[in-house]
A and B are shown apart, each in its own frame.
Chain A
Amino acid sequence: MTPLLLTGGEAVAHAMRQIDPDVVPVYPITPQTPIIQGFAKFVADGRAHAELVNVESEHSAMSAAIGSALAGARTMTATSSQGLALMAEVVYIAASMRAPIVMALGNRALSGPINIHCDHSDSMLIRDSGVVQLFAENAQEAYDLTVLAPRVAEHPDVLLPVLVCLDGFTITHSAEPVQLLADGDVAAFVGTYTLAHRVLDVAHPATQGPFAMPDYYYEFRRQQSAAVEAAGRVLDGLADGFERLSGRRYGPVEAYRLDGAERVIVALGSTAGTVKDVVDELREEGEAVGVLKIVSYRPFPSELVRGLLADIASVIVLDRADSPGGAAPLQAELAATLYGSAAELHGHVYGLGGRDLHPRDVREIFAQHAPRYVSVRGEPCPV
């Protein structure tokens, strides 16, 4: 099939059209809006058949999504930034009720100051909610991960919300060639939505979301933790089938030019693409550099990452979110993962509120000439 020129938002809308969910409760927010705008047009044109619920807030969007997912309807939604912040309370509940909802997250900085551009602070806000978070590097990956997401979310060992995270504007609004799968192939790949216990099965009714006292709450949290971990195995298990279908392979990480690498940048999302270009240039110049792109941020593939990085002399972590007064999230994750290994760990915060990370910045980071806060005015560079 000829690739189409699509923005990441349009690509995700096409994936949703092909998955053809039953219910999509959604509230618009930049930079997610093109996703749901595109999908709503598919519904209006009769090319998708979802009940599109125009709710009054993201809190309601996720609440409605839980109800429909547990009632037995395949459910998708999308949000960004403040929308996710408003939704956060219910995101935890969706995870704890084990509702297999697929949600596109157009990553955008949290207020304030109010801003509509990309960083990962929204993802990090719900880091510990018990949802799966997969990060796309470009429009193609946003599309592919959206097609993969229902299979992960709905697996009986998982039954969790799965977020497909795509960088706001950089991916959501930038047009790139995207190779779509055939409609029938996606339909066959995702299959039909089945749950063991549906709320609206009158022959086998179930109560969902009960109160849990100290004698059971902890067990349910432990169960959730196991379910998130299982999502990593499920994603691995889908790699072969998806590759046969698409020619593209997805795992929890993408290791790029790690052979013989002495310095490796670890990053999420579209930045990995920028770093790959710089790695290619630096390799031409004889430098032993590589990049490890984290696709599955939750579950975090610690063992795999440790195996890939334990012998790397210098590991440089790029966080597009800050944790004021503490270690930035991805850096903290890598510090825990690599504890006791020989790797020397460096961390940088970059790109908050849509500040671009240029190839020259990446070169400075590799050269260890960049400050901890990259490209922020007023920050002295290390000597």
Chain B
Amino acid sequence: MARLSPWQELPAGGAILPAEAEQPRTGGWRTGFRPEVDLSRCVDCLLCWLYCPDSAVRLDGTAFEGFDYDFCKGCEICAEVCPVDAIEMVVE
């Protein structure tokens, strides 16, 4: 549980600044399936990165690096859009 701030410490008007914003690990809401990748098939087309609604695909420059399970909800969009079937949903 985050500490609740006193009024004197809040940004004026409740402005939320990137450095201050708490980033809850919403991957805890995942559906029970998580994506796994077969890197030998991946062609770095980055369609999964483009389509992921939670920015849970990590890149190394322009190369696919992996999934960020702290934020992945298991929606399966990445597996659906992958043109080389490199992504498989597995039961957690």
Which A residues fall within an 8 A CB radius of B?
96-99, 156, 159, 196-197, 204-210, 212, 215-216, 219-220, 222-223, 226-227
Asked if A197 and B6 sit within 8 Å, CB to CB, the answer is no
Interfacial residues of chain B within 9-54, with CB under 8 A of chain A in the complex = 10-18, 21
Q: Which residue of B lies closest to A159 (CB)?
A: B12
Q: A227 is contacted by which of B4, B6, B12, B17 (Cβ under 8 Å)?
A: B12
Q: Which residue of B lies closest to A158 (CB)?
A: B12
Asked if B14 and A220 sit within 8 Å, CB to CB, the answer is yes
Q: A222 is contacted by which of B7, B16, B18 (Cβ under 8 Å)?
A: B7
Which B residues fall within an 8 A CB radius of A?
4-8, 10-18, 21
Asked if B12 and A210 sit within 8 Å, CB to CB, the answer is no
Known: A215-B4, A226-B7. A220 touches B18 (CB 8 A): no
* C-alpha spacing A208/B13, complex, angstroms: 7
Q: When A and B form their complex, what is the total count of cross-chain residue pairs whose Cβ atoms lie within 8 Å?
A: 54
| Chain A proximity of B53: nearest CB distance (Å) | 18
23 pairs from A and B in contact (CB 8 Å cutoff): A96-B13, A98-B15, A196-B12, A197-B11, A197-B15, A204-B17, A205-B18, A206-B15, A207-B15, A207-B21, A208-B13, A208-B14, A208-B16, A210-B16, A216-B4, A216-B10, A219-B10, A220-B13, A220-B14, A222-B7, A223-B7, A223-B8, A223-B12
* C-alpha spacing A226/B7, complex, angstroms: 10
Q: Cβ of B4: which chain A residues have Cβ within 8 Å of it?
A: 215-216
Main secondary structure of the interface of A (DSSP, over half): loop
Q: Cβ of B21: which chain A residues have Cβ within 8 Å of it?
A: 207
| Chain A proximity of B72: nearest CB distance (Å) | 23
**For the complex of A and B, 6 pairs with smallest distance between CB atoms:** A98-B13, A207-B16, A219-B7, A222-B7, A98-B12, A223-B7
* C-alpha spacing A208/B15, complex, angstroms: 5
* C-alpha spacing A97/B14, complex, angstroms: 7
| Chain A proximity of B11: nearest CB distance (Å) | 7
| Chain A proximity of B3: nearest CB distance (Å) | 11
| Chain B proximity of A70: nearest CB distance (Å) | 8
Asked if A206 and B16 sit within 8 Å, CB to CB, the answer is yes
| Chain B proximity of A368: nearest CB distance (Å) | 45
| Chain B proximity of A222: nearest CB distance (Å) | 4
Asked if B7 and A209 sit within 8 Å, CB to CB, the answer is no
Q: Which residue of A lies closest to B9 (CB)?
A: A219
Q: Which residue of B lies closest to A220 (CB)?
A: B14
